[in-house]
Amino acid sequence: MELAIEEIAAAGALHVEPAFIRGYVDFDEGMFAAAHAAKLRQAAEHAGLGINAVSAHLDLSGAAAPDALSRRIGFAAGLGASFLITNAGPARNSAAIRKTIDALLPRLEEVGIVLALENPGHGQGDLLGSARMGASFIRDIGSRHVRLNHDAGNVFTYSNETVQPAQDIADAIDAVGHAHLKDVVSTGEGWTFCAIGDGSIGYEPYWATLPATLPVSIELPLRLRRPQHRDPQRRSAPVDMATIRSALRRSLDFVNSLEIAKSSTF
């Protein structure tokens, strides 16, 4: 994590979003202790980076979800983050998901953190299968502390390339509080994650729809692959640092170019 923070700062980013996602990295619930939050926050500040969001996914419909979510809220608060990002869970368990959120909503309000629910990139039958579905759920809760985290790359893969993110987000802008940008190259062999702007995601129309003040994070799961469009698989060998540096800098340059182009139209 310390090396990642140093490289992200060297690439010219302003913030870092720590991610605790099973299948991406190995971790246990002990990672969400206050001491770990303090150490991570100190490392980011030392590198000149802020922490605006943290991803720490879980299924909010599980029996242990309230306790797990409470730990993550405390961890996010310790990092000084404004957003805690997680998946929601299956649509068939919407009542249980809502119960978990309702139970922790006073805690979110107390510490001033927004719970940002993210649309998935694989599987089926999810509560947040589309932005429209997610927005309906968010509007029903009716709290500014519960919003959507719209993952542009996940829209493309979850729909098996039938929906681009600009189409998906159009009817849900009011419910979106944060966004993730990631990209995939689509070939006959499946999907390979790549630098933002190098793949099959239509980012120009997507960026044009985003509110100017919406916080976004670049996500580069370069170690994962999705052969034949199956669930993500983690390669056994790490990605070499030169490849990571190149993808990170190209992604930052591409997103900055999107913002410059957008600004020049007004």
Domain boundaries, the chain: 2-263
23: which residues sit within 8 A by CB, 6+ positions away?
224, 232, 234
Predicted local distance difference test score (pLDDT) of residue 263: 85
Closest Cα partner for 105 from 115, 95, 118, 97?
115
Position 26 scores a pLDDT of 86
Structure confidence at residue 62 (pLDDT)? 95
User: pLDDT tens digits for the chain (266 residues)?
Assistant: 899 999 999 999 999 999 999 888 889 999 999 999 999 999 999 999 999 999 999 999 999 999 999 999 999 999 999 999 999 999 999 999 999 999 999 999 999 999 999 999 999 999 999 999 999 999 999 999 999 999 999 999 999 999 999 999 998 999 999 999 999 999 889 999 999 999 999 999 999 999 999 999 999 999 999 999 999 999 999 999 999 999 999 999 999 999 999 887 75
As a CATH number, domain 2-263 is 3.20.20.150
Beta-bridge mates of residue 151: 180
Residue 254: per-residue pLDDT: 98
Instruction: Look up the pTM and report it.
Output: 0.96
- pLDDT, residue 79, reads 98
